[in-house]
Chain A
């Protein structure tokens, strides 16, 4: 297949034989003080001759040495102030080679602060260095995850307010300003409740399950890039990490459901296992679509590959990413047990599903996880499809020059995240629930095939379609779906909201005989 495609491409004259080129030998990001290795596709260099490596975009020239005919090693200056993606030139005497702009080298600034801290501890304190590293990372993660209950609480209140508005009633409006502290009251109440473990439950698993769910979600905050700097660790395996740790939540749900020794909880746990395992496939394939076109699993890289304007987002990049977004979104709803896929805790069928037997603090962890999960869902959607923290006119270099602009990126990210969260809430209070067989057939008969089509299509697209055509397709998609369809949708919503207001008979019946 590939040879046929290549032959077509060659006949069309689109591809010429590749010239000898240099590239980043390790497809990882570089940090200050690290060694970089530049690799040539042919023996170009003279070993031992004076050599320099220039990071073109950053204007940094580093002393280097050619260790082999095709290898140059340079030490990245610890004082390098700039960061970002760049091409690299290697100079040896009068000879000069430049790397391909399509495979940029990446220089990063954020994590070193952590690294310095950890290295400082390791130098002064006993114990292995990796331990201090782990501690530093954990501390940073805790710092990011500390607001987790607050996020969950505020989303709960918000959800209740939205649902109240939709169901023509008031949401919480008593505790705190306009009810916004309701989550605190509810949380405290749950903390003071008795922690009941049913007599016939598997006590150890029963007690452990909620923590597992919490840990699974807590860990995702490590790779979520809230802004250029606000990220705990930009792991090279970011997306993979995200997928794997969120799976812990399923384990916890099954564990909780099974160990409760209650039939309702068991049914909820079983449903959850079937549902989440099924929907993880289309969701992962949709994520892979983005990973393929970006060429990286790192969350920051994926954000960096997009632009600030909507037509530069992955959502509107080409038809396949557009499809992938919706597949991912619906699958993520299913993974997060949200309506119309809230079968594991279908309150009208299974009492409360997998958490039927829980009470007190252990119970409170499940809703906490559920609501933080919505925020995580929104964050993942933002970074993958909606341009992450990218702001128009403010590039990475601008933020490095004016660090306060990072707050703008953070605000952008949070705004996009909340927009997705709102849509999720909106869907929950609009739609009924699927039945378990309908949900399964939706996943296996429609979503997985469509996800594969979008994945393969995206691969072919990135391979064959030139960048200019992609830009035109993206613009067209944005105009048709973003402005056209989106505008039509918004006007419909406004129309319905107005119609709904007309239907409220506010005190029109007058005071009763009370």
Chain B
């Protein structure tokens, strides 16, 4: 966070996003800031509804209209303000500079188009080559993700879940993007397939040098893939640091609670240890720290004043009032 702006690939500054429905307004993202360098893999960890997917969609300007609105904050990618550029320029960036993989492979592919066509489409769009060349490259991509190229004229329903997700990855990486956003890419898959997909993504990252934002709620996946980790809760970052920082020295009560709730294979437990209490309703967020109602070391100030994200050591930073004393 001390480097100059120009070296960072992605900088998100104090992002605030609301979803407005007929009945209420949901505060999905409440002041989120992160930054990434080229080639880095950042893990965004948090429960469902914490605002991770919303942030990802906002980067690509894919928030559902008219409900989703970016209230304030900036998203800068390679020095370009992604909110200020026109629609045509944004379309240039989607699929070519920044790509996204979505959560459910079963519904992410168009059921009436052959898979080869769905891959070559993005190639033809951004690389402006002939149909034939695009299809050749599409077949190459299929092989790279481990699917036989001669299946390129088959339809999505003819593939299994794991293979569908590989096709989705092939589409996302077809134009060699600089940044890949992967939203829970393995959540909907079996554990064995999960391992294969992660391995594949690791290799691709190594070969192509793509930066990745990996959104997940699974701490195990994060440990395998990420360099840096950001813990997201109620729409903002609670703790941020390197993999070692978070896993060896978690400081925020929520992070500690997350690790504590993972059952230990080696010891005998009678009960699981969940974090007591419930996530606050995003339509009715409290004025102070959003974790206050579940925290075991809260002070008077936690109810009224939302803490700032403060750097503790190196890049390890925490959003908590109770920490300056303990460190």
Are A and B interaction partners?
Answer: no
Q: Which residues of B contact A (CB under 8 A)?
A: none
Q: Which residues of A contact B (CB under 8 A)?
A: none
